[in-house]
Amino acid sequence: MSIKKRVSWAALAAVALLCATVDGSAKKMKADALVALHLKAIGENLVRKNRVAQGLGTVDIRVGNKAKMVGPAMLLAEGKKLRTEINFGHPQYTRETLIRNGEKLDIAYVSPGARSRLGGTLWDFFPRLAQEGLYGGVLSTDWTLLDLRKKRARVRYQGLKKFEGRRLHRLEYRPKKGVNYRIRIYFEPETYRHVASRYRLTLPAGMGRGLVDIRGGAFGAGSGPADKIRITLTETFSHFKEVDGLTLPHHYRIALNTSAIGGFVGHWEIKIDRMMHDQRIAARAFAIN
């Protein structure tokens, strides 16, 4: 065998050994150990009075009344309070706003009596995401993994799993209060940073009435077997930077995919260019009418 071939076989063997070692370590990992490593990856001083993030927001509706819009965006978090907002200034889509004030939740209408596909999906089917401290991930000061005991949620480690072409640590998350959708949280194996959360729900035909898109089209029956409606909501986090000793994502993306009315695919994204902690936030920022 030539030297070149021996080197190639040696390299392949080394890669195989590394993969086996990583997989072996992953199989032995426990959920609480993964959470501890994740919290360490964020930083030492995890508790902050509040967080203010500003940047540019976009929406890209790819299937179902296609549209692209851009506008100023912000994220405010203080304890259990959270506000995310993108201002588009369009007559049919003025803004995308979610407000959590303690246990109460409000999602603004984009036009009189109508929420967007994202807002309607969160309001009708996934309200627990914000109330549980899941929505917004580590950008929320009430991020659910900061205090699992207090949340009284159950987590189960499921190993290294494929997620959009990457092998990531996966946790299955079950809130104290039962929900009928699947929650999976993903972490980078090298850094233990939280990079994605995925929520899935399957509904029988006829459920989803009243959900509207940015042009007023309602959710109807799905296009799959037995006309079931399948909804997948995915949050992804990237471009991590250190701010005040905390390593936090500066790109936050939400993808919504449904099987209703021939399908819907939309992406919302906030690119943060400024982030601050322990600022003065007016009470009205979290007011719910």
- pLDDT for 67 equals 82
Q: Identify whether 12 is part of a domain.
A: no
Please report which confidence band the pLDDT of residue 10 belongs to, taking 50, 70 and 90 as the band edges.
very low
Q: Identify whether 3 is part of a domain.
A: no
pLDDT of residue 215 exceeding 70, the answer is no
**What pTM was estimated for this model as a whole?**
0.84
The answer to whether 65 and 52 are in contact (CB under 8 A) is: no
Q: 221 CB contacts (<8 Å, ≥6 apart)?
A: 205, 206, 227, 229, 260
* Domain CATH number, residue 164: 2.50.20
Phi then psi for residue 164, to 5 deg, are: 50, 45
Q: Identify whether 34 is part of a domain.
A: yes
User: Which range marks the domain in which residue 281 is found?
Assistant: 30-286
* 81-124 tens-digit pLDDT: 999 999 998 888 889 999 999 889 999 998 788 899 899 999 99
Q: Identify whether 97 is part of a domain.
A: yes
Q: Identify whether 21 is part of a domain.
A: no
Q: How many domains is the chain built from?
A: 1
Q: Identify whether 7 is part of a domain.
A: no
Compute the average pLDDT of residues 258-285: 90
Q: Identify whether 51 is part of a domain.
A: yes
- pLDDT for 110 equals 86
Query: Which of the two residues, 147 and 74, has the higher pLDDT score?
Result: 74
Q: Identify whether 200 is part of a domain.
A: yes
**CA–CA distance, 214 with 264 (Å, rounded to integer):** 12
**CA–CA distance, 127 with 141 (Å, rounded to integer):** 18
* 178-206 tens-digit pLDDT: 677 899 999 999 999 999 999 999 887 65
The mean of the pLDDT values for the chain is 84
